[in-house]
């Protein structure tokens, strides 16, 4: 697997260089390659790794040499393999668990709502009574 610090910077930089040498704007390249302009921007900014078929399509659109095409497709494959193993940790699951614990441990709910009953108080017996 390539060093992501090197490969992760090389692919976006090389794709941008090839597009600029081809004299294409992102919008034009997207139209010719059959992908969205926002994806090309993400690829060139390193925010997303293109699939190998997308890399191949862009290389053909940019008239890249066969050697560059093979190297970039291989780099995209290697980078995607590396990113496949990344787990993004977001705080939402922990926050939701904390909210669940608070709800389960609640013994008193104070609220004023003249037109509705809070969800926490809507027990199965209450719903059946309706």
* CATH of residue 96: 1.10.260.40
Give the pair of three-digit tokens for residue 36: 């969205």
Instruction: Say yes or no to pLDDT of 1 above 60.
Output: no
Q: How distant, in Å, are the alpha carbons of 108, 117, 120 from that of 111?
A: 10, 9, 11
Share of the chain above pLDDT 90, in %: 48
pLDDT of residue 8: 61
Residues 6+ apart with CB under 8 A from 14: 68, 72
Give the pair of three-digit tokens for residue 45: 């900014």
Total-model pTM: 0.59
What is the number of structural domains in the chain? 1
The residue segments making up the domain with residue 125 are 1-130
More confident residue, 82 or 21: 21
Least confident span in 11-15, 32-36, 109-113: 109-113
Instruction: Say yes or no to pLDDT of 112 above 90.
Output: no
């Amino acid at each position: 697997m390539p060093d992501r610090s090197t490969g992760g910077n090389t692919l976006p930089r090389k794709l941008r260089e090839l597009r600029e040498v081809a004299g294409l704007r992102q919008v034009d390249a997207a139209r010719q390659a059959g992908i969205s302009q926002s994806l090309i921007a993400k690829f060139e900014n390193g925010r997303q790794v293109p699939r190998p078929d997308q890399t191949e399509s862009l290389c053909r659109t940019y008239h890249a040499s066969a050697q560059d095409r093979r190297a970039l497709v291989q780099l995209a494959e290697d980078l995607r393999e590396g990113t496949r193993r990344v787990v993004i940790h977001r705080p939402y699951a922990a926050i939701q668990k904390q909210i669940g614990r608070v709800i389960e441990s609640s013994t008193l709910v104070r609220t004023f709502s003249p037109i509705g009953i809070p969800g926490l108080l809507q027990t199965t017996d209450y719903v059946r009574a309706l």
